[in-house]
Structure 1
Amino acid sequence: MSRRRRGVWVVAGIAATAVLLCCGLGGAVALSGLFHQPSTPAVNLSGCGQKLRAYHDLPAVSGYNDAQRSRAYDIIKAGIKLKVPPRGWVIAVATALQESGLKVYANDNPLYPLVKAHSLALPHDAVGHDHDSVGLFQQRPKPPEGEGGWGTVKELMNPTISAEKFYRKLLTTSGWQHDPLTIAAQAVQGSAYPDAYAKWEGDATNLVNTLTGGAARTAADASGAQSVGTCAANGQIAASGWVQPVKAPISSGFGPRGGFFHAGVDLAGPRGTPIRAAAAGLVVTAECDPATRDCDHDGSIATEGCGWYVEIKHAGGVETRYCHMESRPSVQVGQTVAAGTVLGHEGMSGNADGPHLHFEVHLHNDLSLNGAIDPVPFMQDKGAPLGRS
């Protein structure tokens, strides 16, 4: 039978004598075999390329059929043609996932007779309609008589042309490469449900990585250009929208340690090293861990808890935790932060024997031990590998 102290899982009747550098909230657990540990999602850890395969050789992507993968391919190919950096491909694919599920629907909306007359003769994957919008991005056609709209029905039903129109509008948006995906997509779409785009960022990243050999792991240089084969590192924001929380070596990894389970990794940088949000999200915790009690003084291996810490909720059910800050976090609960926002600075409040960041990644909106995964392969797949100084 198990019980939980703040920051440490122990097993009843077993003396917990192991010494830990960092517990964290749920960051250590006794006898790991007693608890279910979610497996880290399978990831392709090689490559940051931008080489598209041929249509007939598209690799499988779990959860997506041939038609959907082909439409993601069309979107990426249009981005390459217009020299849009890979971050734009992720944004565009995520937008199309929300708007159409990566399907071109033959639209029979009576407001546009041209749709009914011609849609079934144009490229499409299914029959249906959504108000007065058509195509992968559900763009409004130009009325049969009058001005406005994104283009003709024939143009918008063509996946390549509709994607090019999306990109041209995106490229006119200042700061889109560094904005959260929701903000960048909404600047183009003007949707009534702007927050919905964010939930597709993970799937869009996976599709782009799979179809291009890892382009969503690339990062822009100072000029905004993104180079083939160049992964993000040293604090750069990857095309996936993720960034290293600190530039520091890993001093302790994820997994069983001395009879306990370490639910994150420790990144040992100098005291005062800025700690950054690993991705855009909503701050849900920014406080002194009650188990630590006194967070304004350095802790030790005898101190409990996370010290000053922050938790952030990201798109797709992902949450991150940042422990042992030097002083009160510089963000507040309810604040929306962009990738790379400084949350605080490395210190050794709480259960720590030296300055470091204890960093955790959790899936399924589960900040307990059951939701914790190894941050190293997760961040590698995002293009923001940990342990690079």
Structure 2
Amino acid sequence: MRRRRGIWVAVSVAATFVLLCCGLGGTVALTGLFGKQSTPATNPVGCGGKLASYGRLPQVSGYSQVQETRAYAIIQAGMKMKVPARGWVVAIATALQESSLHVYANDNPAYPLVVEHSMALPHDSVGHDHDSVGLFQQRPTAPEGEGGWGTVKELMDPATSAGKFYKKLLSLPGWQQLPVTVAAQMVQNSAFPDAYAKWESDATNIVNTLTNGAARGALTATATTSGTCAAAGEPAASGWVQPVKGPISSPFGPRGGFMHYGVDLAPPKGTPIVAAAGGLVITAKCDPDTGNCDTDGSMNTPGCGWYVEIKHADGVNTRYCHMIERPMVHVGQTVKVGQQLGKVGQSGNADGPHLHFEVHLHNDLSGNGAIDPVPFMRDKGAPVGGR
């Protein structure tokens, strides 16, 4: 039996017209949108294997060449210490929050260093926190040798300060599976622990641009420039993984008077469903519209059945519908990438076992925030639709 939609939401004819003619960037051909099974996605070209030349750095949208050289130094320091590419993403996200990837006032390397412990330090042009300095706003060691990360001169050097950050990061058990904001906070002990989350996408993009896609490689790989993409079901250095291994049975998109806000993945009943990325569980329950979620649904059964929603970094949310039984996680729980949430089932609006998987941006779990999971996951190095 052909698996079809997960959650369908009715829209008006006028709204559908706007979506087709405007929301998709102009008039689109409807051929193939209805009832066509999607081709399984493949990994994008570029999963590492090449570090950009320092003198010819590719442009990262929204960032200056000076900022890119700081990120480049962070990556090089990580490579020297054999830190997996996931660590580069965590480090750059941290530096973006702490210093916007600046070191000197006005980013002038000739700015004189003040090497003694003093409040008159060469802080960033973007501000400072007390006597903290450098890319990671690390506090210097006191004159009597107590506390701190090192001398001012050391911390003002991007490679050295990055090395000190990595040393602490590598000492944390399971840091690679943690959300960026959790891993960064465990190193930094910031007064604003949630602030790092908003930089995860930018940090991933910077790493991919400067390394030809290393953040799409395997999460735990030490050969971080090998050029090998993460295998199906294996977390990528971006911190994302496909939620299940299975073919796409119904794609994202309009269906006449309805809109399918996710993609349906159809592995066998009982297949484990895992968190596509680390984050906070905000929903784990039976959809009230479904009623009894402990029996198989049909196309006449409303709702999502047993389902889970997770809030990730940078305003991204994911939704997992039609589980076979009560989810294995609870609201308020922080989950790691690849952690099991439940099993594939047929609860709710489903005519066969499958996972209905949605991705939403801007913390908007309505249809307005929904995007096609296929290109999003492909860009993360964790394409859906693979077996």
TM-score, normalised to structure 1, is 0.85
What does residue 33 of structure 1 align with? 17
Unaligned runs of 5+ in 1: 1-18
Which moved further from structure 2: 66-75 or 88-97?
Answer: 66-75
Identity percentage over the alignment?
67
| Change in CA separation of 1:310 and 1:29 when aligned onto 2, cut-off 3 Å | farther
| Change in CA separation of 1:38 and 1:192 when aligned onto 2, cut-off 3 Å | farther
C-alpha displacement of 1:220: 4.1
Separation in 1 of the partners of 2:294 and 2:129? 56
What does residue 84 of structure 2 align with? 85
How many residues in Structure 1 have an aligned counterpart in Structure 2? 360
2:125 pairs with 1:126? yes
Separation in 2 of the partners of 1:300 and 1:362? 25
| Change in CA separation of 1:248 and 1:20 when aligned onto 2, cut-off 3 Å | closer
C-alpha displacement of 1:267: 0.3
Separation in 1 of the partners of 2:59 and 2:270? 45
Which moved further from structure 2: 359-368 or 57-66?
Answer: 57-66
Separation in 2 of the partners of 1:236 and 1:24? 27
What does residue 192 of structure 1 align with? 191
Q: Which SS does the other structure have where 2:160 is aligned?
A: helix
C-alpha displacement of 1:168: 1.7
C-alpha displacement of 1:302: 1.8
C-alpha displacement of 1:198: 2.1
2:198 pairs with 1:206? no
C-alpha displacement of 1:83: 1.3
Higher strand proportion (structure 1 or 2): 1
What does residue 24 of structure 1 align with? 7
2:259 pairs with 1:261? yes
1:1-389 → structure 2 map (5 Å cutoff): 21-24=4-7, 26=9, 29=11, 31=13, 32-35=16-19, 37=23, 45-106=44-105, 116=120, 119=122, 126=125, 128-220=127-219, 226=224, 228-389=226-387
Post-superposition CA distance 1:78-136 (Å, at most 9, x none): 1111111101100110111111111114499999556748x4xxxx8737432011000
Separation in 2 of the partners of 1:292 and 1:336? 26
| Change in CA separation of 1:328 and 1:302 when aligned onto 2, cut-off 3 Å | same
Separation in 1 of the partners of 2:112 and 2:227? 44
Separation in 2 of the partners of 1:265 and 1:54? 39
Separation in 1 of the partners of 2:322 and 2:333? 20
Letter in 1 for 2:353: P
Counterpart contact for 2:124–2:133, Cα < 8 Å: no
Q: Which SS does the other structure have where 2:218 is aligned?
A: strand
Q: Which SS does the other structure have where 1:237 is aligned?
A: coil
Letter in 2 for 1:246: V
Which moved further from structure 2: 369-378 or 283-292?
Answer: 283-292
Counterpart contact for 1:186–1:194, Cα < 8 Å: yes
Separation in 1 of the partners of 2:24 and 2:282? 23
What does residue 4 of structure 1 align with? none
Separation in 1 of the partners of 2:70 and 2:374? 31
Q: Which SS does the other structure have where 2:377 is aligned?
A: helix
Separation in 2 of the partners of 1:311 and 1:152? 45
Which moved further from structure 2: 124-133 or 228-237?
Answer: 124-133
Separation in 2 of the partners of 1:312 and 1:152? 41
C-alpha displacement of 1:377: 0.9
